[in-house]
Structures are given as structure tokens and as C-alpha cells.
Structure 1
Amino acid sequence: MVQDPFHLAIVTGRFAPQLSDGGQQVATALAERGIDSDPVMWNDPTVDWRRFDGVLVRSCWEYPEDRGRFQTMLDEIEDAGVPICNPLSVLRWNLHKSYLPALDREGVQIPATTVIKQGTDTSLEEVIRTSGWDDVVVKPAIGAMSSDVWRTSATEVAESEQRFTDHVTDHDVLVQEFVPEISAGERSIVFFGGEYSHAWNSLPAEDDVTEFDGIDAEYDPHPRSGGRLGQYYSRHVRSSVSKRTAFRTPESITYTVMMTFYSWN
């Protein structure tokens, strides 16, 4: 009896409805290994997840525009009982950037960050003054693609107060100390199962370091980045995920950690 091939849903969005270049490469590699796959839009409520043997979440970059629908999709997949990568608990944990302070508490170095809860009665001027920072970046706690991210300073904060108030009225907000090294690029290092795989450097726009033009430069990290330091961060990220979600990473699971850094001085 011939067994039907494994059928995988690759979840994507409007910026790559037929999958991104990387997603298409994944689909090709899977097909070579006998796994069928179909692109599925994350915001399509008609999808019957039960017709798939597994789900892989890929290019859902616009999900912050309809956070409720994205969370509903995760609930639908859970109700269908279909395996998903990454696990649902990890995806839900990763939706809100409160994971950054959680990683900080585990020893992963991040830019100094303050989380402002939705509806908090405070001003951006007060946040900057209390923190002692001169230059800050403000962003939604649930966001992607640098949408609604802006930079301001203690001397220019008055120009941003209304924008800040509007955002805090609608959702949680992060205020972070500006890290000037970002002007040299956002360097991403990927590990599979704790082993270094590859890296790249995403370059910001020349006139605005909070915007990225989709230009990736080659980046060959220092050997320590792919060795002891990478294992250190991988271990601490894994620890934080395990503590704050129902997900555990047994040895039989190959997990991926992508770490983004601003400088390797």
C-alpha cells in the first residue's frame, strides 16, 4: 500500500502570497524529500487545517495589523490538533515584545528597555526623564517590519507626545535606549540545534536607522560568535522559552535560534 506524502501548510501573508524566495527554497527542499506543501494565507478564515499533516509559519509580516485574527489562527490550528513549528506556546510568547525583558532576566544582553502598558497615564517626556536616556526608540510591543517605529530624543520629545499618547491608548509600547551601532546594520546569526549555521547583516536606510530597505549584506561573524558565545546565548534563550511557555526542547527536537546583534566590537 502506497502511503500518501506528508502534506505541509506553509503559512504566509500578502507580501509573499506564493511564498518568499526563501520560502520557495524551503518548499523545493521539502519536495525533494517527498513532502508536499501549499502556501496558506494566515488571515484566511476558510482554511481547514485538518487537511494538513503539519504547519510551518513563515512570512506573516503584516500580522500586527490584525492581531486578533492571527491569534485566532493559532487557536484554530490548536483545535485542529495539527503539529506546528515553532510550537504554539513559543509563537504566542514571541508575539509580544515583553519577551525582551524576559530574555534580559536570563542574562541575554538587550538594549535598555521599558514596557509601557496600554492605557498607562504617562508621557514620553516622563519616561525619558525617569530612565535618564537622551536618545530613544519607540515601537509597538506587537509589531513587525519597523512599522510605527520612530526615534526621538529628550530635546525633541514634545513633537512625539501626541503620537506616543495615541499608541499607548491603543496598545502596549516599548521605549528603548537608542543603540548607535545599529547604523552599521542589524546582524542576525542563526543556529540550528545550538550549532552555527549562517549569518547576514540587514542594513538600515541611510536617512533613518529605524527603517530597513531589505538590503542584506554579507556578514562573516567572529569565530566566537559561532562558537562559545553562540552556545551561551542559545542556551539562555532556550532557558527563557522553557520557563515562560509550555514548550520544552527535548534532545529529539531540532530547534532554531536566530539572534540579532548590533555590534561585535
Structure 2
Amino acid sequence: MKRCAILSMDSLEEFEAYDDLLEQPLADLGWQMSFVSWRDKNVNWDDFNAVIIRSPWDYQDDAEAFLSVLEDIESSSAHLENSLDIVKWNIDKEYLKELADKAVNIVPTLWRESFNVDELSGFFEHFSQQQIVLKPRISANADNTFWLTKDNVKGMTAQLAKAFESRNFMVQPFMQSVIDEGEFSLFYFDGRYSHAILKTPKQDDFRVQEEHGGRLKTVEPEPELIRQAEIALRAIDSMPLYARVDFVRHGSSFALMEAELIEPSLYFNMDAASPKRFAQAFAAKMQKLAI
């Protein structure tokens, strides 16, 4: 039986993770999986035929060290999915600029290399909005993401200055549709659609992650949402093994919030057949690569 490492973190105790649901489908296809922390310095990556990045949800705390580990894996005999090239491209949310240049409909965004408190009022004016969102370009799990209003921004300046003193960041209008309807996530395995969910935040919040009280439900995406998701996928240079594309309703269409290609939760718990679809996509790709 071939060996596959599921790249995770030291402890997932505070998170909702569902990658254990892959164990049986992978075993049925001749793959034994093991959870391995990306911070474990004693791992011999040559012991594995493949490594799948799944839940290293603290990588943003030391992105340089995380990339170094991935470089070690790619230098070993193990095959890495998604690839290091994809991770390097996707780790900084500035990739959204490139997708926008390829006709992907993204949420309007300003990009900043450093924080200047004098610019804050101008952000509201730029988007003609009473509410905006600031978040780091390298982030996960909504860490250091701020929902600002013209009323609360003055009381947040010290916290913002600290959060972005050594981080470049992005500014977007607050998307009211996240509150009114939710955020759609569509999942693709080796370019093929698997399933979709709708994530809605708890009362008086905007974060849709389960860890922040977000609620989930399985949905059947409407044709326009599928169309926008596939436009986004085609704009990615190399088709990843797995992709999660997150959208919000924007006017008569949908706008891409993020294309998650590094460590997205794939919510295998929300679709009983999705673990098997993932395992089949993985095994078929490994077979093509003669791994």
C-alpha cells in the first residue's frame, strides 16, 4: 500500500476538521494516510509517496518557515499536492489582481504595502461606503481581519496600526450580502465540480468560519455561480488537485472573495460522497504521474 501524508498542524483541537473522512476512501484505492504536522522536524518525507496539504491552519504565523518545509517536501521523493508553485502564487492574496486581469469578477479591492492612519477616511470615500474591511494579504481563518465603520474606526486606529505594522494588507468594501445571504463555497477536485455550501455568520458578526460561530448548509449553486466559478478556475495557470472558490452575490452576478488553493477546509462532512470523489481524483492524478 502506498503512503500519503496529510499535512496538518500540531493540534486541531480548536478547529473543525474533516480530513479523517478521507481515510477509508483512500485505503480502498490503495493509499494509507497519516496526519503529519508541518512543524515536525523529524519527518523523513522520503517515507511517503505523496503529501497532501490539508490543515496547517497556523502557517500564516510563519509563512517563510512553512514555505521552507514545502521546499523540503518537493526536494524529496514525495509528490506534493497542491504544488509549491501553486502555494507560492496563492499565499499572497495579491493573486486576485492577476485573476481580475483575466476577467474574473472579484470584490473591489485596494492594496497597501504599509499602514497610514491618515488614509483610513479615504478608504470609505473610495468605495462610497459606510463600512469597509481590512485584512492581511497573507492570512487564514479571518485572523487580523477588521470590519470597520465610520463610527468605530477612530477607536480602532491603535489596534490597526499594531496589526499592520509589519504586514501589507488589502481594503475592500464591506459586502452586505455576506450578512443578508452568506458566502458561497464551491469545491473542485482536479477541475471537476464536487459540491457547494453556503456559510452565514452568527448574529452581529461577519466571519463565516465555524470557529467563529458561522453556520453551514449544503446548496445547489445556480448556473451563474457555476459560470463564475469556472471562469475563475480557468484563469489559474495550473489546475490544482483541490480548489475552493468563495463567492458573494454582487449585483446580478457573483464576485470572488478568494480562491483557496493551500489549506481550505473542503467540508467533507457536508456531502457524503465528497471524500470518495476527492480520493478518486487524487488516485487518478497519481496514476497519471506514475506515483
State the TM-score, normalizing by the size of structure 1: 0.82
The structure with higher relative contact order (CA 8 Å, sep 6+) is: 2
1:199 matched to 2:190? The reply is no
Instruction: Deviation per CA, 1:68-105: give whole Å up to 9, x if none.
Output: 32122112112224211111100111111111222222
State the TM-score, normalizing by the size of structure 2: 0.75
Which residue is 1:59 aligned to? 55
Aligned length: 246
Instruction: Deviation per CA, 1:153-191: give whole Å up to 9, x if none.
Output: 234322222222222312111111111000122111123
Separation in structure 2 between the aligned mates of residue 159 and residue 28 of structure 1, nearest angstrom: 51
1:170 match: secondary structure: coil
Residue type at the aligned position of 1:205: K
- Asked if 1 retains the 8 angstrom alpha-carbon contact of 2:199 and 2:208, the reply is no
Write the mapping of 1:140-159 to structure 2, written as runs, cut at 5 A. Answer: 140-159=136-155
Structure 1: segments with no counterpart, 5+ residues = 243-247
1:263 matched to 2:260? The reply is no
Separation in structure 2 between the aligned mates of residue 259 and residue 98 of structure 1, nearest angstrom: 15
- Asked if 1 retains the 8 angstrom alpha-carbon contact of 2:10 and 2:39, the reply is no
Which residue is 1:190 aligned to? 187
Provide the alpha-carbon RMSD of the alignment: 2.5
2:198 match: secondary structure: strand
Aligned-pair CA distance for 1:256: 3.5
1:163 matched to 2:159? The reply is yes
- Asked if 2 retains the 8 angstrom alpha-carbon contact of 1:125 and 1:158, the reply is no
- Asked if 1 retains the 8 angstrom alpha-carbon contact of 2:17 and 2:55, the reply is no
Instruction: Deviation per CA, 1:86-145: give whole Å up to 9, x if none.
Output: 111001111111112222222111211112114668632343344544310111111111
Separation in structure 1 between the aligned mates of residue 129 and residue 195 of structure 2, nearest angstrom: 34
* Percent identity over paired residues: 24
Which residue is 2:78 aligned to? 82
2:78 match: secondary structure: coil
Aligned-pair CA distance for 1:15: 4.6
Alpha carbons of structure 1 residues 262 and 47: separation in structure 2 relative to 1, 3 Å: same
1:32 to 11, 28, 32: 28
Separation in structure 2 between the aligned mates of residue 211 and residue 195 of structure 1, nearest angstrom: 25
Separation in structure 2 between the aligned mates of residue 191 and residue 76 of structure 1, nearest angstrom: 27
Aligned-pair CA distance for 1:223: 3.9
